[in-house]
Each structure stands twice: as C-alpha cells, then as structure tokens.
Amino acid sequence: MLAGVLAGWPRTVDHGERTTDMGLDQYAHVRINKWNPHFYSFEWQKHSRLQQFMMELWYSKGNGEVFNCQELELDIDDINKLEEQVHNGYEDYHCPGGFFWGHQFQEEAAEEEKANDLDFIERAKQALQTEGSTVVYSCWY
C-alpha cells in the first residue's frame, strides 16, 4: 500500500511479499477554499475496505454510473460514518473481490492504513467547518 499525505510523497512501504505495482489507486482531496496539494491530498493503493465503503456510499447517493474515475463529495455525516468503520476495522465493509483491489489482504490493509485514514478524517472534519471547503474521494481501477 502506498499511502500518506502528498507532502511526504513519494514514500515506499515494505509489505513483504505483497506487491503494489498495479491495481486500485485511491485519492482524497480536502479543499479548503482552494487547492493545496502539499497538505491536504491523500493517496492509498489497494485499500479494498475503504474502497468498498466509498463504493457503497456512491451508489447510496443515487449515482448510477460506474464509480471508477468519478469524484464522490463527502459531507460530515459520511466522514463520521467512515470514522466509525475505521475504528471497527471496517467490519461492515468486506470486499468480495475486484480486479487487483487487494481483497486478499484487506484485513491487514485496514490495520496498516488506520493512522492514515484517521489523519484524513481529522483534516476532512476541520475543512468541513470552513465555508466553501469540500472533501472528495476518487478511485482509478
């Protein structure tokens, strides 16, 4: 998994035998009145439970298109639900599969990415208190 605030990007993470070459790429942008990629952009790769959460949220908001390469705007209720799932290991969002999504090691990914997920959540909550700010999630698979 590659993850982290882009201020420190690119960073590498040793995952033993797991590979991060091809697969699900995930991004979140916290836009506080204007774009600031050095402090408010997050990237994950093959975090399948986060993807499952966001994909189900996408369709629950009435979107009919395929979620790939779309922006999902998140509100405070979405962020609070995400925080609950992070603290519970995404127990309600098990990924059944997906081409190169990393579903084979989804429990490990949820644990490894927990600090990054919580950092994103904290920054998103702060941003959403500022008028004109948005938080979006997108993916590419």
DSSP-derived secondary structure for 10-35: S-----TT---SSS-EEEEEEEBSB-
pLDDT, residue 99, reads 65
Whether pLDDT at 4 is above 70? no
Residue boundaries of the structural domains of the chain = 4-140
Average pLDDT over residues 12-26: 56
pTM of the model: 0.78
pLDDT of residue 111: 97
Task: Give the pair of three-digit tokens for residue 110.
Answer: 């949820």
End-to-end CA distance of the chain: 14
Tokens in use for 66? Answer: 């395929």
- Tell me the pLDDT of the chain averaged across its residues: 82
Kindly state the average pLDDT of the residues 108-136. Answer: 92
In which residue are the tokens 């420190």 written? 8
pLDDT value, residue 100:
80
Check residue 22 and give its pLDDT.
Answer: 57
